[in-house]
Amino acid sequence: MGTFVTPSGFVRKTLQEIRTEIETALKTVFGPDFDTTVDSPNGLLISQLALASSHWFEAGQEIYSAHDPDQATGVSLDILSGLSGIQRRLAMACYCDAMVYTLAENAVIPQGSQALRSRGNLSFSLQAPVNLSRINSQRIIISETSGHSAGTELTFQFTFGTVTFTPNAAQTTLEALRIALMSSTYSGESLLTNGELNVFYNGYETPLGVVNAPSGFDIYAGTLGRFEADEVGYQTLSSGELNTILIPVSDWDRVYNYLPGISGTEIETDKELRIRRELSVNSIKAKGTDEAIQSHLLDDVPGVISAKTTSNRNWVTDESGRPPKSSESVVIGGSDYDVAMCIWNTIAAGIQPFGNTEVFIQDTNNEIQLVGFSRPVSQFLWIKIDYQLYSEETFPGEESLRTEILDWSKTEYTIGKDVIPDRVCSGIYKVPGIGQTVIQVALTDNLEDTPVYTSQVIPVDSTSYADLIGARIILNRM
């Protein structure tokens, strides 16, 4: 019996080596004059036998390689990673928390109700029923449906108190109501937007409602609902894009996402899984270090697709605002509670878990602990490209150019990654027919802001990321 797995690896015989061995064996049995020439009947039979034998060596090579994480692919890599407790990340759908509104006193919007993203007509489904009540809401929109004469006293009874006001000729009724609200015991926000008054507490931590209102007003009561895209894979959702009810539902009157959604992801590639497995193996059972916290967040918390941990080990607040002796994990995906529990169980004792999101958890001593971490804030990226065509190649069109730039941006603009205009060329020149280009970029905090373009690098802080969609890629042919 041959030895094919040696200390230096698998020894695979070539087709010619196998054929020569068969020829030698047959001549040993039948004599040196046995005809084994390639085109003889014996030679043709030997070739077929050699070919069949070589297939077994190929199978042996594949089986051997499937046990090497650097060579294994597909299911074989899944099995190897599973031995280390690492599972391949499946494709995930984009999701967001959007405000669901009703004009009714009370309503229940059923699970599965669908809303539509204005860009690309992507549908999103409600993941759990939402109970709406005018006297127990997270956000109230007040709209005037009929005019009220100046000098008329009006009274709104909110759950936090009664507000009485008298609009004058220089004010709209809602402007007067807003001024009266801000002068009352109310401590939340009141914003006039598109002729409507939005009333809410920051973070929606305190419920509010309208108990009684004068005639001539529509009261929209809103509560957050979790919506998930009906297609898995990479999709984005900017603020305000989920704004249309796809299929009418009784007493469901409006939907709107005030914050960007969490982007969907494609299924993890073999390359990405190999890298994550290696990082996990290198930090296995480790706790307390930035790398270990990242690894546990990525491997142990369902739904986490990105995590980056940075510590401030000094005795003064650092340039990013982290307190002394604190650690900040910026996390995309996963439930707030699961993320907080993972950080608490892996962070070093005496280090403050810091961030823009804070969650109370219960430790193993039944003590309540406050754990902070950060959810990344999207900044809206605008790219303006002036380009010339290159006459020796065929340009497929601007949509192809936008598509290539967007595909490139998926891996480029991660958390804390600066926007470097010249790097956009990496996506541009994948498209044939492009000659010289002039690239400028801009970042805005809100979609309504006017972009100020520059050819300089735009820094992005460690808790933000640049969000790009095709509509914000401006193409000008020179």
> C-alpha distances in angstroms, 371 versus 37, 97, 289, 320?
79, 22, 17, 18
Instruction: Examine residue 73 and state whether it is found in any structural domain, yes or no.
Output: no
Q: What is the DSSP annotation of 209-265?
A: -EEE--TTEEEEEEEEEEEEEEEESS----TT-EEEESS--TT--EEE-SSPPBPPB
DSSP structural state of residue 472: G
Whether residue 457 is found in the same domain as residue 322 = no
Instruction: Examine residue 246 and state whether it is found in any structural domain, yes or no.
Output: yes
Whether residue 99 is found in the same domain as residue 234 = yes
Parent domain of 101 = 93-256
Which residues, other chains included, contact 301 with Cβ-Cβ below 8 Å and sequence gap of 6+?
333, 334, 338, 339, 342
Amino acid at 230: D
The rounded radius of gyration (Å) of the Cα atoms in the chain is 32
Whether residue 345 is found in the same domain as residue 382 = no
Whether residue 181 is found in the same domain as residue 326 = no
Whether residue 443 is found in the same domain as residue 416 = yes
Whether residue 340 is found in the same domain as residue 473 = no
**Residue ending a domain, choose from 373, 397, 420:** 373
Instruction: Examine residue 277 and state whether it is found in any structural domain, yes or no.
Output: no
DSSP structural state of residue 204: G
Reduced to 3 states, what is the DSSP secondary structure of residue 359?
Answer: strand
Whether residue 108 is found in the same domain as residue 247 = yes
Instruction: Examine residue 71 and state whether it is found in any structural domain, yes or no.
Output: no
Q: Answer whether 0.85 is exceeded by the pTM.
A: no
**Residue ending a domain, choose from 331, 353, 373:** 373
Q: How many residues does the chain have?
A: 478
Q: What CATH number is attached to the domain comprising 356?
A: 3.30.300
**Maximum distance among all Cα pairs of the chain, rounded to whole angstroms:** 122
Whether residue 245 is found in the same domain as residue 147 = yes
**Residue ending a domain, choose from 373, 398, 432:** 373
CB under 8 A, 24+ apart: contacts of 410-415: 410/234, 413/381, 413/465, 413/466, 413/467, 413/468, 414/306, 414/465, 415/306, 415/308, 415/330, 415/332, 415/376, 415/462, 415/463, 415/464, 415/465
CB 266 within 8 A of CB 272: no
Whether residue 108 is found in the same domain as residue 249 = yes
Whether residue 347 is found in the same domain as residue 220 = no
Instruction: Examine residue 273 and state whether it is found in any structural domain, yes or no.
Output: no
Reduced to 3 states, what is the DSSP secondary structure of residue 61?
Answer: helix
What is the chain's pLDDT, residue by residue, as a tens digit (478 residues)? 457 777 777 778 888 888 888 888 888 988 888 888 888 898 899 889 888 888 888 887 777 777 777 778 888 887 877 777 778 878 889 999 999 999 999 999 999 999 999 888 899 999 999 999 999 999 999 999 988 888 899 999 999 999 999 999 888 999 999 999 988 989 888 888 888 999 999 888 889 999 999 999 999 999 999 999 999 988 888 889 999 999 999 999 999 999 888 888 888 888 888 877 776 666 555 577 888 898 889 888 888 878 889 999 899 999 888 999 999 999 988 889 999 999 999 998 889 999 999 999 988 787 889 999 999 888 899 999 999 999 999 999 998 999 899 889 888 888 888 999 999 999 999 999 999 999 999 999 887 889 999 999 999 988 888 988 888 999 999 8
**Structural domains in the chain (count):** 4
Instruction: Examine residue 80 and state whether it is found in any structural domain, yes or no.
Output: no
Count of CB atoms situated within 10 Å of the CB of 83: 10
Whether residue 349 is found in the same domain as residue 383 = no
Whether residue 145 is found in the same domain as residue 290 = no
Structure tokens belonging to residue 149 = 């004469």
Instruction: Examine residue 35 and state whether it is found in any structural domain, yes or no.
Output: yes
Instruction: Examine residue 98 and state whether it is found in any structural domain, yes or no.
Output: yes
